[in-house]
Amino acid sequence: MTTPKKHIAKLFSNTPPKGEQLQRFTAFIKRKYGEDTELCWIEDTAIENGFRLEVGTNVYDWTEKGLLAQFDGHLDNIKYKDGMSIVPLIRNSVEGWTPKAFAEETGEVLSVGDGIATVSGLHNAAYGEILLFDCGIRGMVQELKSDSIGCILFGDSELVTQGSTVKRTGKTAGMPVGESFIGRVIDALGTPIDGKGEIKPSDYRPIENPAPGIIDRQSVNQPMETGILTIDSMFPIGKGQRELIIGDRQTGKTAIAVDTILNQKGKSVICIYVAIGQKTSSVSQLVDNLTERGAMDYTIVVNASAGDPASLQYIAPYAGCALGEYFMEKGRDVLIVYDDLSKHAVAYRALSLLLERSPGREAYPGDVFYLHSRLLERAAKLSNKLGGGSMTALPIVETQAGDVSAYIPTNIISITDGQIFLESSLFFAGQRPAVNVGLSVSRVGSAAQTKALKSAVGTLRLDLSQYREMEVFTQFSSDLDENTQNKLTYGKGLMYLLRQSRYEPLSQFEQTVLLICALGHILQDIPFEEISTFKKGLLQFIKKENPQLSALVKTDKAVSPELKQEILNLAAKYKAGRL
Ligand code: ATP
Ligand code: MG
């Protein structure tokens, strides 16, 4: 802070201070700002009673109004606990109150526009601090320069005018959190936007929080079941993992995330869906969908839509994450979906360019990697000492024409523990979910895959990649030998087996049965178009024929050869009866 040699202290009031008052003010400013501070009195008829003292950017509000506001703040801090009698509590806190002489740092808006305000005077403001503009709008400090501050605005920037005053709050951006948020749709500041009334928060958390350290974590050891056969079998996700869903537009990225949320029904997982830069209509459709299927009972939707200021789109995922952390620290399992981080990066790029930061690769600012790493690092499986809660993150990234080597996709691929790569060509060929088996991977989830499923998966991935290779080689050959032909039909059958409609999650038992049958070549001579109905019929038949089977296939144990044989026998019986 640069301090001018000589301070001028301006004292505002309705009537000039009298003898003793003047002495007290002079003593006060000399003590605080040095001997050479000069006091000058300025008449201000707007002040009814009391004084306002301004020294540089410091303001002491001793007007009646200011003291009342201070007293109000004091009353807000009274902590009432059950069993206390209210009258003595109020009496004590009123008697114990003395007005404090604290300086409020104020600044002035130099310029405003495009959701950004440049402010002068707040020399001690910190990065990420919340500022309060005199029109009531809040902003967050994003750029600290030697003589001014760049601040993003959380509201209509037209209300902020040049020359208006700004106050520091001393607080970093925070978010109200609590159980009562479950089932609600909120904006990036935690305000409900579903018209269902106010939400009573039970706590307040900073939206930026350091990620848990290595000692606070334990390795991923429980599966986060998506109910999607392709994913649970080959790219299993563990609780606490970060798995990227990546693909071009309209390839079913959101569908995978939503199906995973729907599959958490009855599994006591809290789901948070953060929509960034999407159309409000598609978000409300998604909420309707979740409500209809009973998933809003355990889900929170945070929406910063395309129409919201870029500042809100920028903080939305951190806000969602703060909510998730609240539940994780209570020992609960949380699933959080960021849909999508490419739009998040674009919003941040817009803000950075407006803040006149130097653009780097693809015009993104230099810290765009940190933007996402500090968010995704917060997903964790906490140690048992800390309650054993977890937060699984499913970030979504949209690619342009399948280009995974662009800046944002490569960044996020390197931050996450694996990716599910969706391909438009597969999607349009009817292979949905359009997962590219060769390019997808889950780096830690296999440690969390249930033993039953692991024992059933066998060589699925290998068989599929063999099929893909063979398919390319034999594309133009007319006469194939029987062995090759068989392998091709088997592989194609597997691809059809992996097709799964939306809203049709499969349980671990169902997945295990299907995999055992498919790898046991049961699907071999079923026409491809019938595989989908065959699957459903087969599962129904097996459940009816042997209702105990689902209890015998224990998730924590590999499926025994006898049990596998039993499943294959039942499948053969079903097939024979069907043909
Ligand atoms: P965007 O890029 O617009 O966000 P997206 O990649 O999130 O798109 P979705 O919105 O999930 O894609 O899906 C696109 C369309 O494909 C939707 O109409 C959805 O119903 C359909 N779809 C997604 N998955 C499946 C599936 N497994 N079976 C059938 N249809 C599906
Ligand atoms: Mg989508």
CA of 282 to the centre of ligand 1 (A): 12
Give the three-state DSSP class for 497.
Answer: helix
Query: Which ligand number lies closest to the CA of residue 259?
Result: 1
Shortest-distance Cα residue to atom 16 of ligand 1: 252
Collect all residues with Cβ–Cβ distance below 8 Å to 322 and sequence separation of at least 6.
174, 175, 177, 205, 206, 207, 209
CA of 480 to the centre of ligand 2 (A): 41
Give the sign of the dihedral formed by CA 499, CA 461, CA 451, CA 415.
negative
> What are the residue ranges in the chain where pLDDT is below 50?
1
Other beta carbons within 10 angstroms of residue 194's beta carbon come to 16
Q: Where are the beta strands (DSSP E) in 2-128?
A: 8-13, 38-43, 50-55, 58-63, 104-113, 116-120
- pLDDT at res. 157: 86
Choose the residue to mutate in 248, 250, 343, 423 for probing ligand 1, maximizing ligand atoms within 8 Å of C-beta.
Answer: 250
Choose the residue to mutate in 245, 248, 253 for probing ligand 1, maximizing ligand atoms within 8 Å of C-beta.
Answer: 253
CA–CA distance from 245 to each of 15, 270, 513 (Å)? 68, 20, 26
Annotated catalytic residue, options 374, 443, 499, 502: 443
Atom of ligand 1 nearest to the CA of 257: 11
Domain boundaries 176-205+221-449, corresponding CATH code: 3.40.50.300
Query: What are the pLDDT digits (tens) for 161-214?
Result: 999 989 988 888 999 999 999 999 999 999 999 999 999 999 999 999 999 999
Query: Which ligand number lies closest to the CA of residue 289?
Result: 1
Domain boundaries, the chain: 8-95, 104-173, 176-205+221-449, 455-578
CA of 52 to the centre of ligand 2 (A): 54
CA of 438 to the centre of ligand 1 (A): 21
Nearest alpha-carbon partner for 220 in 242, 239, 235, 244: 239
Atom of ligand 1 nearest to the CA of 500: 27
Shortest-distance Cα residue to atom 24 of ligand 1: 252
Atom of ligand 1 nearest to the CA of 396: 7
Verify whether residue 184 is a known catalytic residue: no
CA of 281 to the centre of ligand 2 (A): 12
Query: Which ligand number lies closest to the CA of residue 285?
Result: 1
Shortest-distance Cα residue to atom 13 of ligand 1: 252
Query: What are the pLDDT digits (tens) for 332-358?
Result: 999 999 999 999 999 999 999 999 999
Atom of ligand 1 nearest to the CA of 278: 4
Beta-ladder partners of 131: 139, 168
Shortest-distance Cα residue to atom 17 of ligand 1: 252
Look-up: residue for tokens 């605080």?
Answer: 32
CA of 477 to the centre of ligand 1 (A): 34
- pLDDT at res. 515: 95
Q: pTM of this prediction? A: 0.87
- pLDDT at res. 75: 77
Which architecture, in CATH terms, is 104-173? Beta Barrel (2.40)
Nearest alpha-carbon partner for 418 in 182, 246, 540, 566: 246
CA of 291 to the centre of ligand 2 (A): 18
Helix axes 310-329, 341-354, angle to 10 degrees: 130
CA 33 to centroid of chain Cα atoms: 46
Shortest-distance Cα residue to atom 9 of ligand 1: 252
Query: Which ligand number lies closest to the CA of residue 400?
Result: 1
Choose the residue to mutate in 228, 230, 249, 251 for probing ligand 1, maximizing ligand atoms within 8 Å of C-beta.
Answer: 251
Atom of ligand 1 nearest to the CA of 258: 11
Shortest-distance Cα residue to atom 21 of ligand 1: 252
Query: Which ligand number lies closest to the CA of residue 498?
Result: 1
Which architecture, in CATH terms, is 455-578? Up-down Bundle (1.20)
CA of 250 to the centre of ligand 1 (A): 5
Ligand 1 pocket by Cβ (under 6 Å): 247, 249-255, 398, 432-433, 500-502
Nearest alpha-carbon partner for 50 in 71, 33, 32, 77: 71
